[in-house]
């Protein structure tokens, strides 16, 4: 599982990894957030709050969290022994998965600096208020996540970070640990 604060590049890295590493399937989350301009339609299942709340009642999520007023959740995976499931989630979600599945491997992705994280959010068109809020929430969350993450990867360069995580996955597989 890849976790980290908003604007750190988790989404880009997760989709690169699922294309590059064989036998890895990327979980698609549900969200009540509106789709951003230019954001691919399949980056989430975009649902209404009512649909999301119904799914909570029906126990459809492995984990879910509220982040800055929107709900995000990972649907329970369909059992498929042939692939490792790659989750791309925030730090609150990673903590819940860790509690439910002590064998889950948590890779914490961090930005090289908060300036870089802010810059990425500006590029994707987030407004200034959201960015300030996300950067400050992110700093507290990273401090928390450092306590339970199995590996920490700095996203200083996309290709390098993708290679580092691919090597981590490969060595976990040779050691017989699921990702
Ligand atoms: P964004 O709105 O920028 O797409 O996502 C906001 C935050 O929610 C990001 O940190 C993202 O990783 C996280 N997130 C995305 N999907 C999930 C999910 O299924 N569960 C949890 N807990 N967080 C998620």
pLDDT beyond 90 at 138: no
115 Cβ contact list (under 8 Å, min separation 6)? none
The dotted CATH code for 2-175 is 3.40.50.300
Query: Ligand 1 centre and the CA of 81: distance in Å?
Result: 25
CA of 6 to the centre of ligand 1 (A): 7
The answer to whether the CB of 89 is under 6 A from ligand 1 is yes
Side-chain-side CA neighbours of residue 108 (13 Å): 22
How do the domains of the chain map onto residue ranges? 2-175
Q: Per-residue pLDDT averaged across 82-93, rounded?
A: 88
Condensed to tens digits (0 to 9), the pLDDT of residues 30-66 reads 999 999 999 989 889 999 999 999 999 999 999 999 9
User: Which of 90, 108, 133 to mutate to test ligand 1, by most ligand atoms within 8 A of the CB atom?
Assistant: 90
Query: pLDDT class for 142, splitting at 50, 70, 90?
Result: very high
Instruction: Specify the residue with its C-alpha closest to ligand 1, atom 5.
Output: 6
* Per-residue confidence band for 80, with pLDDT thresholds at 50, 70 and 90: low
Residue 89 CA to ligand 1 center (angstroms) comes to 5
pLDDT, residue 28, reads 92
Beta carbons within 10 angstroms of residue 53's beta carbon: 13
Q: Is the pLDDT of residue 10 over 80?
A: yes
The total number of residues shown for the chain amounts to: 179
Average pLDDT along the chain: 90
pLDDT at 81: 60
Residue 45 is inside which H or E element, if any?
strand 45-46
Relative to the CA of 126, which ligand 1 atom is closest?
A: 3
Where does the pLDDT of residue 79 fall: very low under 50, low under 70, confident under 90, or very high at 90 and above? low
To the nearest 10 degrees (0 to 180), the angle between helices 158-174 and 10-20 is 50
DSSP for 64-131, written as a single string: EEEETTEEEEEEPPPP-TTSEEEPEE-HHHHHHHHHH-TT---EEEE-S-HHHHHHHHHHTT--HHHH
Instruction: Name the closest-CA residue to atom 2, ligand 1.
Output: 33
Give yes or no for residue 74 CB within 6 A of ligand 1: yes
């Amino acid at each position: 599982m890849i976790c980290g604060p908003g604007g750190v590049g988790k989404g880009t890295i997760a989709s690169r990894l699922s294309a590059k590493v064989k036998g890895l399937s990327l979980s698609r989350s549900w969200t009540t957030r509106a789709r951003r301009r230019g954001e691919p339609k399949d980056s989430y299942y975009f649902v209404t709050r009512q649909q999301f709340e119904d799914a909570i009642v029906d126990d459809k999520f492995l984990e879910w969290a509220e982040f800055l007023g929107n709900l995000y959740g990972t649907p329970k995976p369909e059992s498929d022994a042939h692939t490792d499931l790659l989750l791309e989630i925030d730090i609150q979600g990673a903590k819940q998965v860790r509690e439910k599945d002590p064998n889950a491997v948590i890779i914490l992705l961090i930005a090289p600096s908060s300036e870089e994280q802010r810059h990425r959010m500006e590029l994707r068109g987030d407004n200034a208020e959201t960015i300030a809020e996300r950067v400050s929430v992110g700093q507290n969350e990273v401090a928390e996540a450092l306590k339970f993450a199995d590996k920490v990867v700095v996203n200083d360069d996309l290709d390098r970070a993708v290679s580092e995580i691919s090597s981590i996955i490969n060595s976990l597989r040779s050691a017989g640990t699921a990702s």
